[in-house]
Structure 1
Amino acid sequence: MFTFAHRNPEMLLDRTSTALVLADIQNEFLSESGSYYPMIEDSLRANNVPDNIEALLKAAKEYGFPVIHSPHYYYPTDRQWVAPGGAISHYLATQISFVGRKNPVDLEGFAGSRADYPERYKKYLQDGKTANTSPHKGASSRANDVIKQLRMRRIEKVIMAGPVANICLEGHMRDIIEEGMEVAMVRDAVAGGRNEEGDAYLAAMINYRFFANAVWTTEEAIGRMKAVAASA
């Protein structure tokens, strides 16, 4: 019987071609007011995810690594969708006000909403340097400009984190890997829920081990960023 025992190759960071990529740093996922928050609350706490995300942001800013953030928004016009699409994205877009905004150019009602960023992260995400991309509408980055933002910065190595390990974050990871970039996933800066089939966090960790070039802790990721910056 063939057994595939994957061992992640040693991914080495580079000062000029490495970026931190985050998805869904929004109240919907990371604040108690969010509708998705109860699904991942236990996992967020178990892994200390909110603090670890902030630690990664702080390190990226301190050591000079670009930050790309992919938010998740739906607009009232998305309720016009009639194609089934993926079960989750279709339901979220058409049935509930999930990460809802009035429209792409009007911020009325955005501040403090479930689509907004948690206050603790705004100093990093709204510093005029972070690239907050157009929204992803499903799990992946196919519908927004994450890949464009990475390519225009000549990024080849990516460190990734975010609250929904097995859906949006994994979708983004797969897209970025398919574009030929190396990806390191930060295992304690992600979370997952549970359903009748099992633990989504564990499912994500299994897939990360098959796909990603590295799976690090927050401490390891920050240590590597610091070392690269010190040697520059």
Structure 2
Amino acid sequence: MFTFTHRNPEMQIDKPHTALVLADIQNEFLEEKTGTYYELIADALKKRNVVGNLEQLLKTAQELGYYIIHSPHWYYPTDLQWNVPPGAIADYLIGIGFCGRKDPVDLEGFHGSRSDYYEPFKKYLMDGHTCNTSPHKHFGCVANDVIKQLHMRKVQKVIMAGPVANICLESHMRDIIEAGFEVALVRDAVAAGVNDEGDGYEAAMVNARFMANAMWTTDEAVKRMKAAASA
């Protein structure tokens, strides 16, 4: 049986046209005491030091002045009016009250909640430079303003990471690639859950090998970001 082994030439980045794009940097996914989705990915987060690697990417991007785009995930009570049957994971998330907010403009009960940004990362996400987009309501970013924000900055190259590699992050990656950007996935700054079909992380890595322009470790990504910033 033929095995696909081809790799693209390594994606080259230049600082003015490169952005770090993250999805779901929230307590729901990263906070052990607060998150419920966290339970699904806890082992994968710890195995690859995902939280530490995400911070290294954020710290590097902030210090070097790269664009940072963050796509959060939350719902409002009016979203319960939806009548379309959800998929398996969406049905589960509804059951656990996933990432709920009272209202788009009312922050009552938001601070420290599962929907809130992960507290240790607020110094990066709320620094006045990072762009926190409108929320994605399902998996990808086709319905929020991630791609708009990238276009308006004349970004061409995207470095991607986040805690849910096989669902939201992969869907964001697909949407961003379809919109004409080059994408590098940071393979040790992502996690995924496991079900009775197999390991979501492995599934995400298999798919990324077919689609992404590059797959880097955090150390590789940081090294390339520093080199491009000093060029």
Query: Normalised by the size of structure 2, how large is the TM-score?
Result: 0.96
Q: Any idea what SS the aligned residue of 2:43 has? A: helix
1:38 matched to 2:27: no
* Residue 118 to residue 111, structure 1, CA distance change in 2 (3 Å): same
Unaligned segments of structure 2, at least 5 residues: none
Q: Distance in 2 between matches of 1:10 and 1:96?
A: 41
Give the AA of the match of 2:62.
Answer: K
Q: Which residue of 1 aligns with 2:143?
A: 143
Q: Which residue of 2 aligns with 1:175?
A: 175
Q: Any idea what SS the aligned residue of 2:215 has? A: strand
Q: Which residue of 2 aligns with 1:25?
A: 25
TM-aligned CA deviation for residue 3 of structure 1: 4.0
Q: Distance in 2 between matches of 1:87 and 1:137?
A: 15
Q: Which residue of 2 aligns with 1:60?
A: 61
Q: Distance in 1 between matches of 2:229 and 2:3?
A: 39
Q: Any idea what SS the aligned residue of 1:21 has? A: strand
Instruction: Report if the CA contact (8 A) 2:50-2:163 is conserved.
Output: yes
Q: Distance in 2 between matches of 1:103 and 1:6?
A: 47
1:82 matched to 2:83: yes
Unaligned segments of structure 1, at least 5 residues: none
TM-aligned CA deviation for residue 2 of structure 1: 4.8
Q: Which residue of 2 aligns with 1:211?
A: 211
Can you list the C-alpha shifts for 1:157-192, whole angstroms capped at 9, x where unaligned?
000000000000000000000011000000000001
Q: Which residue of 1 aligns with 2:230?
A: 230
Matched positions, count: 230
Q: Which residue of 2 aligns with 1:96?
A: 96
Q: Distance in 2 between matches of 1:109 and 1:6?
A: 49
Q: Any idea what SS the aligned residue of 1:16 has? A: helix
Q: Distance in 2 between matches of 1:40 and 1:152?
A: 34
Instruction: Report if the CA contact (8 A) 1:89-1:139 is conserved.
Output: no
Instruction: Report if the CA contact (8 A) 2:27-2:113 is conserved.
Output: yes
Instruction: Report if the CA contact (8 A) 2:36-2:96 is conserved.
Output: no
Q: Which residue of 2 aligns with 1:113?
A: 113
Instruction: Report if the CA contact (8 A) 2:27-2:115 is conserved.
Output: yes
Q: Distance in 1 between matches of 2:218 and 2:8?
A: 17
Q: Which residue of 1 aligns with 2:186?
A: 186
- Greater than 3 Å deviation, 4+ residue runs: none
Q: Distance in 2 between matches of 1:141 and 1:86?
A: 17
Name the stretch that deviates more: 219-228 or 75-84: 75-84
Instruction: Report if the CA contact (8 A) 2:20-2:69 is conserved.
Output: yes
Percent identical pairs in the alignment equals 68
Q: Which residue of 2 aligns with 1:163?
A: 163
Instruction: Report if the CA contact (8 A) 1:81-1:90 is conserved.
Output: no
* Residue 34 to residue 18, structure 1, CA distance change in 2 (3 Å): same
Query: Normalised by the size of structure 1, how large is the TM-score?
Result: 0.96
Q: Which residue of 1 aligns with 2:129?
A: 129
Q: Any idea what SS the aligned residue of 1:68 has? A: strand
Give the AA of the match of 1:128.
Answer: G
TM-aligned CA deviation for residue 90 of structure 1: 4.8
Q: Distance in 2 between matches of 1:99 and 1:75?
A: 9
Q: Which residue of 2 aligns with 1:47?
A: 48
Give the AA of the match of 1:129.
Answer: H
Q: Any idea what SS the aligned residue of 1:187 has? A: strand
- Across the aligned residues of Structure 1 and Structure 2, the Cα RMSD in angstroms comes to 1.2
